[in-house]
Structure 1
Amino acid sequence: MSKILIVSDSHGLTKELEVLRERHVQEVDLMIHCGDSQLMPDEKYISGYSTVMGNCDFGGYPIETITEVAGRKIFVTHGHKYSVKTSLMKLKYKAQEFRANIVCFGHSHVLGAEVIDGILFLNPGSIRLPRERFEKTYIILDLLDDKIKLSVFELNGREIADLAHEFVLPN
């Protein structure tokens, strides 16, 4: 069992990233930032986050990462190189190439979660400039033995309970 915090598109916010880290550091095993932090990798505000390069970022971040947590392979990218604003098809093909179970991405600022061909695709929305909803959101994934529990939180820490969901993915 592991918990993962997923955030994206903070576009220069600093204290908010620190607040999220302090709020959840004791309960999560991994904190992922899906890019467009607009912070340099050595800045204290982004420390502790596994971060990828967004289209608004400069220097030092990888374009994508693969991490294995609790027996699940997690592919993280910002999404701009895969045209995620129009389709998840290119991203799906890359995830299949990596044999990923979970894909975390941002770029569109639109909160979303869906399973395509047995792969869970997650976009935590944006904690700065959300689109298609008012709430500034991030996600916590609880990786359990036989399922994945998704919880969506507002930047202020309030859980959006009606967006909670459980997924069962094939092995």
Structure 2
Amino acid sequence: MSKVLVVSDSHGLTKELEILRERHSEDVDLMIHCGDSELPPADGAISGYITVMGNCDFSGGYPLETMAEAAGRKFFITHGHRYSVKTSLMNLKYKAEEVNANIVCFGHSHVLGAEVIGSTLFLNPGSIRLPRGRLEKTYVILDLQDEMIKMTVFEVSGKEIPELAHEFAL
């Protein structure tokens, strides 16, 4: 069993990323930032996060995409702008198949969403700075269990949003 924190599109916020790291450092095994941090890699606020480059990350130093693993599941991490995620997940689906990913984490649209396509979970944690489609500034924790993935959605303040919790059989 393992827990993974996923955040995206913080657009220059530092204190909030530090608070998330401190708040969850004891209970998560992996922290993922799906791009548009707008912070240089050496910034202490982004320390400890597996981070990719978004379309607003101009300092460079981050990969466009990367892979990670937790609890035997393979994560593909990208910002999403190079996969046209605002219009379709099809390009991302093909990439997930190509790299044998079980879970795809992406951002870019600032819209919180999770969807299983085939046997792959596609997750956008929303934005902790400029959410779209809802008022709450969100991030997600995935609880990776044997046959299930439990998704819990939090506001940046740390308040859980129970009606958005979901379980996926994967």
TM-score w.r.t. the length of structure 2 is: 0.98
Matched, 1:82 2:83: yes
* Match in the other structure for 1:27: 27
Q: CA deviation at 1:146?
A: 1.3
State the distance in 1 between where 2:73 and 2:21 align.
23
Unaligned runs of 5+ in 2: none
Matched, 1:9 2:33: no
Q: CA deviation at 1:145?
A: 1.1
Q: CA deviation at 1:136?
A: 0.1
Q: CA deviation at 1:67?
A: 1.1
State the distance in 1 between where 2:4 and 2:56 align.
24
Deviation per CA, 1:47-103: give whole Å up to 9, x if none. Answer: 010000000002100000111211111000000000000000000000000010000
Equivalences for residues 60-99 of structure 1 within 5 A: 60-99=61-100
Matched, 1:148 2:149: yes
Equivalences for residues 86-125 of structure 1 within 5 A: 86-125=87-126
How many pairs are equivalent?
A: 169
Q: Which amino acid in 2 is paired with 1:98?
A: V
TM-score w.r.t. the length of structure 1 is: 0.98
Q: Which amino acid in 2 is paired with 1:21?
A: R
Matched residues, percent identical?
76
* Match in the other structure for 1:135: 136
Runs of 4+ displaced beyond 4 Å: none
Q: CA deviation at 1:43?
A: 0.5
Unaligned runs of 5+ in 1: none
